Amino acid sequence: MAILDGKVPGGTIEQIWDDHKFHMKLVNPANKRKHKVIVVGTGLAGASAAASLGELGYNVSAFCVHESPRRAHSVAAQGGINSAKNYKNDGDSVYRLFYDTVKGGDFRAREANVYRLAQVSTQIIDHCVAQGVPLAREYGGLLSNRSFGGAQVSRTFYARGQTGQQLLIGAYQAMMRQVDKGQVKLFNRREMLDLVVVNGQARGIVVRNLATGAIESHEADAVILATGGYSNVFFLSTNAMACAVTGAWRAYKRGAYFANPCFTQIHPTCIPVSGELQSKLTLMSESLRNDGRVWVPKTKGDKRPANQIPDSERDYYLERVYPSFGNLAPRDVASRQAKYRVDEGLGVGPTGKAVYLDFRDAIQRLGKKAVQEKYGNLFEMYEKITGENPYETPMRMYPAPHYTMGGLWVDYNLMSNIPGLFVAGEANFSDHGANRLGASALMQGLADGYFVVPYTISNYIASTKIEKVATTHDAFKEAENNVRAQITQLMGIKGNRSVDSFHKQLGHIMWEYCGMARNEKGLTAALTEIPKLRDEFWQNVRIPGDANYVNTELEKANRVADFLEQGELMCLDALERKESCGGHFRDEYQTPDGEAMRDDANFCHVAAWEWGGTANKKPTRHTEELKFENVKLATRSYK
Amino acid sequence: MGGTHSQNINLKLKVWRQKSAKDQGAFVEYDAPNVSTDASFLEMLDQVNEKLVQAGQEPIVFDHDCREGICGSCGFMINGNAHGPQKHTTVCQLHMRQFKDGETLVLEPWRAKAFPVIKDLMVDREAFDRVIKSGGYISVDTGNAQDANNIPVPKPDADEAFASATCIGCGACVASCKNASAMLFVGAKVSHLALLPQGQVERAERVHRMVTQMDAEGFGACTTTGACSAACPKGISLSNIARMNRELLVGTLTKKEAAEGDGI
């Protein structure tokens, strides 16, 4: 076990990034074109990094699993993006955004990273507007803001319920401009299946061309992974179907450390599960909690239609328990409270696993038209899925896996412990600690891609001896053989069960034992069940068809094979973190009123795991100490 | 969900199966028994595919990802309608309560020269990316921007630009057009950027380049029947095509004037 160094430069928190930018080495403009950078993933972090590096003059190769980079899952983010603009004159500042984010993350993020995130948040909005991103505006023509969970200021910029889509299209168009100029080369329908490390440096990737089945090698001077999060380990989540841990996991198996895998976010407002055949869950933006009120009946088994239950018999439990934040309590807190109500038998709807999110009062106060203007598309989506009209009857909501704060360990420069391997966006672990605040994911993805990685990559390239490497190098051959061998093995099993059936079973284990609440007994059980399931997968999975062309079952099998390993690491991490913090809630460590109880004496650190060499060998737990010199360690309270 | 009204129905499917771009392809019939009306259309296909896999057969291939109607991956024809019968709905958001017990549904890929079939219901829409690459952006490098509130944008313009920008690039417009025209897709992007002050500098050049690329991809001409807009899951308005034509005309004239002014 080693103590990791986050390599945060010295200085006061306000000055660190500016000083660091000055001290970092630069690559001469004429030399940039001699350097190649691989970007894996074209969501907000990947597309913005590819665009910015292309603008700087690097030769960029961008890879996405989709047919088009515009389809990356960032597109689905609804609510908004935070920025410390203080356009509302309501007391916001870079320091307050920094403070809120550190506190919201329950003191498990690196202070200097979070401060930098808050600093560049203002540039992000400027840049996106310049790109033509049509953010919401007031009648005077200036930008509009709204408040979001966990904050008492209105700092969230938005584009109706489609903020992610609009920001992604902005980044995608910026990247396509570089494709047009020949600075970025686009490789679509490619899935990264291995990282190539030469002389200890990340020098390339091996991908499978999903349209032809071909295995291809690509070399570069540095590799950026922007491959998103791993919520799909739960099978049912709000993530898109192709979201996977595979890119990050294959890097982990080549030596990159995986940090805080147990820090997962269960989003409080999602449409509840309806049946076994359901393929995914749909989130309803947190912005709905600005005007919607969350409640359950006060009496168990109250089966009256919601509208017939009078106010006196409703428990608006978030307003009751957290009078100062009310319905805007942070996600982990709101989710846990919903779980408590359902566990108490007060849940609503056919399954009893839901709470109400009610717009009756907002419609009375603001009028139906104003509510429609704000949330129209979300209400429509709800009605399409459930067949119920939320203008007339309250929405039914239940928490669902949504975002993963954990990810590959990176230092202040967003570089992993493998030199030359950078990790951006949700795929890294750095900024959100144990719980992410609403409207912070889009901010972090774009901060990393537009404003951080382009600087730190230049520094790496300028200060590192990087020898010429071709894809004929043995390390590439070895990685290709590794990928081919796994595919051959998977195709050769010819068992009796579909990939999905394994994925669903894993999802049940994860949700049961490593979901909203965890305990030693459950986690220990999961650590026996997962390896068993993994063994069965490798003996009994059935993948029809041919590996040498489009094979969607093979694609899923590659991803589920990784989830079957990563799920185990999540449970191990959750077991060893003997405290509750943010989204990681251990039943054994709670205050008398059911709030998370941190153990700062023993767990004020990042846990970064090192692959043991095989799936059945225990990985090594390294730590990075977290120091809170600006935001003082305190118990989080939203009461 | 909708729990109270949920029921199970039985359907027959006639699905276009095509092994590869070179294969000829044909319809194959499948039973889809016991489909919950709460399931989405793609979940119904998941159910059919699970059975095919169990039987050692290749599942029906279709593009899909977010299943929330926003990524634009999914889309095929159901009984001749792009994304099926429900207005303003992608096939992933289409739910089985829209269908009746005993119905036969015919599933076909988008048919357009510019969208070759890759496999079954999966087509290649890279032509759209190449059109965006040809000017569908505002040229601003990272780090150059002034304060976002320095240029006020009238709310009606911002809202209209947003409405055009909500296009998800699914290709339903092309698939629904008898000429396989991409004018709604291209018009939406031209409008989005032409309506904003930030998009003015490149306005004439942008529309010219994008239309040239659109033609080069083999998309057909527009005869303003409005089939595209009617099929669009995001309700992109036909007025985007009118604006694109106007932009092209004005752009061509101003370019000519500028050229003459330079004494060329």
Closest chain B CA to residue A373: B159
CA atoms of B95 and B99, how far apart (whole Å): 8
Asked whether the beta carbons of residue B142 and residue A70 sit closer than 8 angstroms, the reply is no
Provide the angle, in degrees to the nearest 10, between the axes of the packed helices A44-56 and A163-181. 30
The CATH number of residue B161's host domain is: 1.10.1060.10
Examine the domain organization and report whether B139 and B102 are in the same domain: no
Q: What is the pLDDT of residue B264?
A: 46
Q: How far is A303 from chain B (nearest CA, A)?
A: 12
Which residues are B26's β-sheet partners? B17
Examine the domain organization and report whether B145 and B101 are in the same domain: no
Tell me how far CA of residue A166 lies from CA of A436, A514, A533, in angstroms. Answer: 21, 34, 40
Task: Compute the C-alpha angle B69/B72/B77, nearest 5°.
Answer: 90
Architecture of the domain defined by A268-401:
Alpha-Beta Complex (3.90)
Asked whether the beta carbons of residue B97 and residue A137 sit closer than 8 angstroms, the reply is no
Note the Cα A229 to chain centre separation in Å: 4
Q: What is the pLDDT of residue A108?
A: 98
Which residues of chain A lie closer than 8 angstroms to B192, CB-CB? Answer: 132, 134
Examine the domain organization and report whether B77 and B168 are in the same domain: no
Q: Residues A75-103, buried b or exposed e (16+ Cβ, 10 A)?
A: bbbbbbbbbbbbbeeeebebbbbbbbbbb
Coil/strand/helix, residue A598: coil
Residue A521 CB contacts under 8 Å (≥ 6 apart), including other chains: none
Rounded mean pLDDT, A297-317: 96
Block residue for tokens 């004429």 = A30
Residue B20 CB contacts under 8 Å (≥ 6 apart), including other chains: A549, B118, B119
Q: Which of B40, B56, B126 sits opposite A188 (nearest CB)?
A: B126
- SS3 of A369-432: the string is HHHHHHHHHHHHHHHHHHCCCCCCCCEEEEEEEEEECCEECCCCCCECCCCCEEECHHHECCCC
Residue B188 CB contacts under 8 Å (≥ 6 apart), including other chains: B164, B165, B167, B236, B240
Mean pLDDT taken over chain A: 96
Contact B134, B195 (CB under 8 A): no
Contact B38, B2 (CB under 8 A): yes
Residues 133-152 of chain A with CB under 8 A from chain B are 134-143
| Token representation of residue A325 | 């934040």
Asked whether the beta carbons of residue A73 and residue B148 sit closer than 8 angstroms, the reply is no
Which residues of chain A lie closer than 8 angstroms to B169, CB-CB? Answer: 68, 70
A457 touches chain B (CB under 8 A): no
State the span(s) of chain A assigned CATH 1.20.58.100. Answer: 476-603
Q: What is the pLDDT of residue A120?
A: 98
The CATH number of residue B59's host domain is: 3.10.20.30
pLDDT at residue A46 above 60? yes
Q: Which of A275, A380, A496 sits opposite B36 (nearest CB)?
A: A275
Q: Computed over its alpha carbons, how large is the radius of gyration of chain B?
A: 21
Quick one: CA torsion of B230, B233, B239, B240, rounded to 10 degrees? -140
Contact A196, A479 (CB under 8 A): yes
Asked whether the beta carbons of residue B198 and residue A129 sit closer than 8 angstroms, the reply is yes
Contact B72, A364 (CB under 8 A): no
Examine the domain organization and report whether B173 and B204 are in the same domain: yes
Q: How far is A379 from chain B (nearest CA, A)?
A: 13
CA atoms of A365 and A293, how far apart (whole Å): 13
Asked whether the beta carbons of residue B136 and residue A388 sit closer than 8 angstroms, the reply is no
DSSP-assigned states of every residue in A418-483? STTEEE-GGGB-SSSTTSPPTT-HHHHHHIIIIIIHHHHHHHHHHHS------TTSHHHHHHHHHH
Quick one: CA torsion of B40, B44, B45, B47, rounded to 10 degrees? 130
Rounded mean pLDDT, A59-82: 97
Quick one: CA torsion of A555, B122, A226, A622, rounded to 10 degrees? -20
Block residue for tokens 């001409």 = B221
Handedness of CA A568, A569, A575, A579 (dihedral sign): negative
Q: How far is B92 from chain A (nearest CA, A)?
A: 10
β-pairing verdict for A395-404 and A264-270: antiparallel
Count of domains in chain B?
A: 2
CA atoms of A349 and A198, how far apart (whole Å): 56
Domain range for B164 is 125-261
Last residue of a domain, one of B68, B84, B119: B119
Q: How many CA atoms lie within 13 A of A527 on its CB side?
A: 18
Largest CA distance in chain A: 74
Coil/strand/helix, residue A583: coil
Q: What is the pLDDT of residue B1?
A: 41
Which residues of chain A lie closer than 8 angstroms to B200, CB-CB? Answer: none
Q: What is the pLDDT of residue B261?
A: 64
What percentage of chain B has pLDDT greater than the value 70?
96
CA atoms of A171 and A72, how far apart (whole Å): 11
β-pairing verdict for A258-259 and B77-78: unpaired
Largest CA distance in chain B: 75
pLDDT at residue B7 above 80? yes
CA atoms of A261 and A268, how far apart (whole Å): 20
Q: Computed over its alpha carbons, how large is the radius of gyration of chain A?
A: 24
Q: Which of B19, B66, B146 sits opposite A240 (nearest CB)?
A: B66
CA atoms of A409 and A117, how far apart (whole Å): 17
CA atoms of B7 and B1, how far apart (whole Å): 10
Examine the domain organization and report whether B137 and B246 are in the same domain: yes
pLDDT at residue A79 above 60? yes
Coil/strand/helix, residue B42: helix
Residue B140 CB contacts under 8 Å (≥ 6 apart), including other chains: A127, A130, A131, A174, B198
Nearest to A460 by CA among A14, A58, A45: A58
A52 touches chain B (CB under 8 A): yes
The helices-and-strands tally (H runs, E runs) of chain B is 8, 7
| pLDDT bucket at B222, cuts 50 / 70 / 90 | very high
A356 touches chain B (CB under 8 A): no
Which residues of chain B lie closer than 8 angstroms to A85, CB-CB? Answer: 148-149
Interface test with B, best of A60, A70, A381, A493 (most B CBs within 10 A): A70
A376 touches chain B (CB under 8 A): no
Which residues of chain A lie closer than 8 angstroms to B149, CB-CB? Answer: 85, 87, 142-143
Q: Which of A71, A129, A132 sits opposite B73 (nearest CB)?
A: A71
**Among the listed ranges A120-129, A133-142, A284-293, B186-195, which one has the minimum average pLDDT value?**
A284-293
Q: What is the pLDDT of residue A277?
A: 86
Residues 84-143 of chain A with CB under 8 A from chain B are 85, 87, 123, 125-132, 134-143
Which residues are A267's β-sheet partners? A400
CA atoms of B77 and B121, how far apart (whole Å): 9
Nearest to B9 by CA among B102, B98, B104, B95: B102
Rounded mean pLDDT, B135-162: 97
Asked whether the beta carbons of residue B58 and residue A544 sit closer than 8 angstroms, the reply is yes
Contact A325, A356 (CB under 8 A): no
Which residues of chain A lie closer than 8 angstroms to B205, CB-CB? Answer: none
Which residues are A143's β-sheet partners? A137
CA atoms of A212 and A189, how far apart (whole Å): 9
pLDDT at residue B263 above 70? no
Interface test with B, best of A180, A209, A383, A560 (most B CBs within 10 A): A180
Examine the domain organization and report whether B93 and B179 are in the same domain: no
Which residues are A202's β-sheet partners? A197
Rounded mean pLDDT, A56-62: 98
Contact A172, A447 (CB under 8 A): no
Block residue for tokens 């709030």 = A595
Q: What is the pLDDT of residue B260?
A: 72
Examine the domain organization and report whether B190 and B233 are in the same domain: yes
Q: Which of B38, B148, B162 sits opposite A159 (nearest CB)?
A: B162
Rounded mean pLDDT, B228-241: 98
Closest chain B CA to residue A552: B61
Interface test with A, best of B6, B66, B146 (most A CBs within 10 A): B66
Tell me how far CA of residue A572 lies from CA of A37, A85, A537, A620, A621, in angstroms. Answer: 34, 41, 20, 11, 10
Q: What is the pLDDT of residue A275?
A: 82
Nearest to B83 by CA among B234, B187, B237: B234
Determine phi and psi for A635, rounding to 5 degrees: -75, 130
Interface test with B, best of A212, A280, A458, A497 (most B CBs within 10 A): A280
Q: What is the pLDDT of residue B3?
A: 45
A352 touches chain B (CB under 8 A): no
Contact B240, B181 (CB under 8 A): no
Q: Which of B20, B43, B145 sits opposite A126 (nearest CB)?
A: B145
pLDDT at residue A150 above 80? no
CA atoms of A319 and A309, how far apart (whole Å): 18
Nearest to A61 by CA among A28, A33, A91, A39: A39
| pLDDT bucket at A259, cuts 50 / 70 / 90 | very high
Domain covering A476-603 assigned CATH 1.20.58.100 in the classification: yes
CA atoms of A586 and A590, how far apart (whole Å): 7
**Among the listed ranges A118-127, A143-152, A425-434, B97-106, which one has the minimum average pLDDT value?**
A143-152
A552 touches chain B (CB under 8 A): yes
Asked whether the beta carbons of residue A498 and residue B54 sit closer than 8 angstroms, the reply is yes
pLDDT at residue B2 above 70? no
CB contacts < 8 A, A to B, total 246
CA atoms of A319 and A306, how far apart (whole Å): 18
pLDDT digits (tens, 9 = 90+) for A519-553: 999 999 999 999 999 999 999 999 999 999 999 99
Examine the domain organization and report whether B149 and B113 are in the same domain: no
Which residues of A carry out catalysis?
Answer: 331
Burial of A599 (0-12, 13-18, 19+ CB in 10 A): middle
CA atoms of A292 and A388, how far apart (whole Å): 16
Interface test with B, best of A66, A158, A277, A493 (most B CBs within 10 A): A277
What percentage of chain A has pLDDT greater than the value 90?
93
Q: How far is B82 from chain A (nearest CA, A)?
A: 17
State the span(s) of chain A assigned CATH 3.90.700.10. Answer: 268-401
Q: Amino acid identity, residue A144? A: S
Q: Which of A127, A282, A542 sits opposite B145 (nearest CB)?
A: A127
Which residues of chain B lie closer than 8 angstroms to A499, CB-CB? Answer: 53
Q: What is the pLDDT of residue B262?
A: 58
A67 touches chain B (CB under 8 A): yes
A185 touches chain B (CB under 8 A): no
